[in-house]
Structure 1
Amino acid sequence: MQVSFTRRIDTVVAALRNWEQSLRFSQGPIRILVALLDRNSRIVEETSGVN
């Protein structure tokens, strides 16, 4: 699941794992993306048209 999700948001699995484990958390756009995903976990699919 992580691999397919990271492909959809155009990032690498290692970055996602670091965010999940609070080892490293990027500033700016990534913080906004994570906040949006927290509110609506399907926002990537809804926005990109992927089902």
Structure 2
Amino acid sequence: MDAEIIFIQSKTTSSFSGSDVGSFIYGVKDFLSDEPKMVQNEKIINAKNI
């Protein structure tokens, strides 16, 4: 089965932070990884099982 997953991050600051975007992308890639490196709590594990 193919799926399209869209992740959105929004902030209300007036400036742009490349490091914030980089951290977000790293987190998304780790979330989708079969072997994540970041700690995953119960809420994240449940979201991955959907």
Name the TM-score, length of structure 2 as normaliser: 0.41
Name the TM-score, length of structure 1 as normaliser: 0.41
Larger Rg: 2
Structure with more helix by fraction: 1
